[in-house]
Structure 1
Amino acid sequence: MELKPEQLAARLESEPLRPAYLIAGPEPLRVLEAADAVRAAARAQGIDEREVFEAEGNQREPDWARLEATFNAPSLFASRRLVELRLPTGKPGKDGAAVIADFCAAPPADVILLVTAGEWSKKHAGKWSDAIGRVGHVAIAWATKPHELPEWIERRLRSHGLVADRDAVQLLADRVEGNLLAAAQEIEKLALLARGDDAPLDVARMHSLVADAARYDVFRLLDAAMNGEPALVSRMLAGLRAEGAAVPALMGMVVMELQRAAALARVSASGGNLSAEFKAQRIWDSKQSVYRRALQRHAAPRWEAFVGVAGKVDRMVKGRAPGDPWLGLERLLLAVADAKAVRLLVATPV
Structure 2
Amino acid sequence: MKLRIDQLRAQLQTQLMPVYIVSGDEPFQVAQCGDQIRQYARDSGFGERHVYHVEKGFDWGDFLTTANSLSLFAQKQILELRIPGGKPGSAGSEALLEYISHPSPDNLLLMITDRLDNTVQKSKWFKALEKVGVFIPIWPIESRQLPGWLNQQLKVDGYRATGDALSLIAERVEGNLLAASQELEKLKLLARDKTIDAATVQEAVSDHARYDVYQLLDSALEGNIKQCVRILGILKGEGTEPTIILWALAREIRLLSHLSRQLSRGIARDLAVEQSAKVLGFVPYMLKRRTSLLSQAIRRSSERNLRQMLLYTGKIDRCIKGLEKGNVWDQMLTLTLNLAGLPPIEVIT
Q: TM-score, length-normalised on structure 1? A: 0.59
Corresponding residue number in structure 2 for 1:99: 95
What do residues 22-66 of structure 1 show as CA deviations (whole Å, max 9, x unaligned)? 1111121111111111211121112211111113xxx52531121
1:129 is aligned, of 117, 126, 131, to: 126
Alpha-carbon spacing, 1:186–1:107, altered in 2? closer, same or farther (3 Å): same
Corresponding residue number in structure 1 for 2:8: 8
SS of residue matched to 1:85: strand
Does structure 2 retain, via aligned residues, the 8 Å contact 1:154–1:164? yes
What do residues 154-191 of structure 1 show as CA deviations (whole Å, max 9, x unaligned)? 11122233211212211211222222212111111111
* 2:155 paired with 1:161: no
SS of residue matched to 2:115: coil
What do residues 87-126 of structure 1 show as CA deviations (whole Å, max 9, x unaligned)? 1111111211221122222212321111111333333322
Corresponding residue number in structure 2 for 1:46: 45
Does structure 1 retain, via aligned residues, the 8 Å contact 2:60–2:95? yes
Alpha-carbon spacing, 1:138–1:76, altered in 2? closer, same or farther (3 Å): same
Alpha-carbon spacing, 1:5–1:241, altered in 2? closer, same or farther (3 Å): closer
* 2:206 paired with 1:207: no
Alignment of 1:230-269 (within 5 A): 231-232=214-215, 242-243=236-237, 245=239
Alignment of 1:167-186 (within 5 A): 167-186=164-183
* 2:112 paired with 1:116: yes
Distance in 2, Cα, partners of 1:109 & 1:6: 26
Does structure 2 retain, via aligned residues, the 8 Å contact 1:101–1:131? yes
RMSD: 2.8
What do residues 317-344 of structure 1 show as CA deviations (whole Å, max 9, x unaligned)? xxxxxxx9xxxxxxxxxxxxxxxxxxxx
Segment of structure 1 superposing worse, 199-208 or 104-113: 199-208
Distance in 2, Cα, partners of 1:51 & 1:234: 43
* 2:68 paired with 1:69: no
Letter in 1 for 2:65: A
In our comparison, the structure showing a higher alpha carbon Rg is 2
* Percent sequence identity over aligned pairs: 37
Alignment of 1:3-42 (within 5 A): 3-15=3-15, 17-42=16-41
Does structure 2 retain, via aligned residues, the 8 Å contact 1:177–1:214? yes
- TM-superposed CA distance for 1:138, in Å, is 0.9
SS of residue matched to 2:196: coil
Letter in 2 for 1:159: V
Q: TM-score, length-normalised on structure 2? A: 0.59
Alpha-carbon spacing, 1:237–1:173, altered in 2? closer, same or farther (3 Å): closer
What do residues 240-264 of structure 1 show as CA deviations (whole Å, max 9, x unaligned)? 65115499xxxxxxxxxxxxxxxxx
Does structure 1 retain, via aligned residues, the 8 Å contact 2:21–2:134? yes
What do residues 294-324 of structure 1 show as CA deviations (whole Å, max 9, x unaligned)? xxxxxxxxxxxxxxxxxxxxxxxxxxxxxx9
Does structure 2 retain, via aligned residues, the 8 Å contact 1:165–1:201? yes
- TM-superposed CA distance for 1:148, in Å, is 2.0
Equivalent pairs counted in the alignment come to 230
Alpha-carbon spacing, 1:147–1:127, altered in 2? closer, same or farther (3 Å): farther
Does structure 2 retain, via aligned residues, the 8 Å contact 1:54–1:61? no
Higher relative contact order (CA 8 A, sep 6+): 1
- TM-superposed CA distance for 1:133, in Å, is 1.4
Does structure 1 retain, via aligned residues, the 8 Å contact 2:158–2:194? no
SS of residue matched to 1:3: coil
Alpha-carbon spacing, 1:240–1:62, altered in 2? closer, same or farther (3 Å): farther
